[in-house]
Amino acid sequence: MLKSKKVLVTAGPTREYLDDIRFIGNKSSGRQGAEIARCLLELDADVTLIIGPVNLELSSLGKVIQVETAIEMDYAVNEAGPFDIAICAAAVGDWRPKEKAKTKIKKTSKGKPPVLELVENPDILKNLCISENRPKLVIGFAAETDNLLANARSKLKNKGCDWIVANNVSAMSQNMGGEENEVIIVKRDQEIKLERQSKEAIAKLICKKIVDEISA
Ligand code: C5P
């Protein structure tokens, strides 16, 4: 149903290194993105999955490019494109340490912790939306702990994407890193709530909406 459509899926966390062994990361398991990639493959799409460090079996998920940092993910997206459809499900680190220390950062004798200066990472989703070869359909994710809908709506506008899949990632929800998810697909003129269910089932529903949109 998506035959000959080139589809990008980004998934998983990124690691933003302080030195060779320490990084800033997040709890993303990559599962929701991986399930979306699997489902798109079943729909005959030409899928490129660009994924951060995860503990998942990736061998049956199409063209898989494994990366660690946001900078690497951004580079890989640009190299692998252009795409007809992009689904940015990765939990990309918003910031990285301004400098990565060349050797392991040591404790000082005065016991003063180091001060971390952070710089902003490239916004892969936003850059895709303003690129010359913008995919026909660009879908972002919004992982929020509060004001879910309001934040999703402002993300839809700020990023310039077509849909935002909003999910609650508060510690209580256990959605981030967990087996299940509950999301709201936020479009410019419509909101579609997908009740709590497995990430596989959520992926199938999202992909069905994608097929409907592309064939409309
Ligand atoms: O701004 P925020 O991180 O909340 O945005 C989330 C959405 O933007 C997700 O779709 C994520 O994959 C994407 N994103 C990105 N590059 C970044 C930050 C977020 O592609 N540097």
Q: Give the model confidence (pLDDT) of 122-159 as tens digits.
A: 999 999 999 999 999 999 999 888 899 999 999 999 99
Share of the chain above pLDDT 90, in %: 82
**Tokens encoding 207:** 């992909």
Query: Is 26 among the catalytic positions?
Result: yes
Q: Is residue 112's pLDDT more than 90? A: no
| Mean pLDDT of all residues in 73-100 | 97
pLDDT recorded at residue 138: 98
Domain boundaries, given as residue ranges, for the chain: 6-97+118-215
Which candidate, 174, 163, 170, 164, places its Cα nearest to that of 196? 174
pLDDT recorded at residue 172: 72
| Mean pLDDT of all residues in 26-32 | 94
- Specify the residue for token string 């993910």: 73
Task: Provide CB contacts within 8 A for 103, sequence distance 6+.
Answer: 19, 20
| CB of 176 closer than 8 Å to CB of 168 | no
pLDDT recorded at residue 179: 85
CATH of domain 6-97+118-215: 3.40.50.10300
CB 124 near ligand 1, within 6 Å: yes
| Mean pLDDT of all residues in 49-74 | 97
Single-letter residue type at 21: I
Confidence class for position 61, pLDDT limits 50, 70, 90: very high
| Mean pLDDT of all residues in 62-82 | 97
| CB of 121 closer than 8 Å to CB of 71 | yes
Residue nearest to atom 13 of ligand 1 (CA): 125
Residue nearest to atom 9 of ligand 1 (CA): 141
Ligand 1 atom nearest to CA at 164:
10
Q: How far is CA 155 from CA 141, 179, 215, in A?
A: 9, 25, 26
What predicted TM-score, i.e. pTM, was given to this entire model? 0.95
